[in-house]
Amino acid sequence: MTKILLIDDNKQRDRALEEGLRLYGYEIVTTSQDNDWRSLVGNACPDLILIDMDTTGVNSWQVIQTLKTSSSTWLIPTIAISNQSIEGKLL
């Protein structure tokens, strides 16, 4: 089963994403805490990481940079999500 790590503090969106993705057979692991994602990446071995760019207490840019510069995680696909309008801004 494909495992997805969701780093997000929006509980309503978490539930919607979890329910939708589980319908397609994905296993979802969630966290909204800055320190939790490190242990979850190591322990859960996700196949994909979804990260909210506006999670309180998490520097999402730093998380992505850490993931992409680590030899053990740089190959894990990472998708930034947000419900903020960022027209004209490049992620």
Amino acid at 18: E
d(CA 82, CA 80): 7
- For 52, the token pair is 């909210």
- For 80, the token pair is 């930034």
Task: Provide the CB-side half-sphere exposure for 67 (13 A, CA).
Answer: 27
Task: Give the tens place of pLDDT for each residue, 43-87.
Answer: 888 999 999 888 777 788 888 998 999 988 999 999 998 876 656
- For 14, the token pair is 């978490």
Task: Give the tens place of pLDDT for each residue, 12-51.
Answer: 888 888 999 999 999 999 887 766 777 788 888 899 999 9
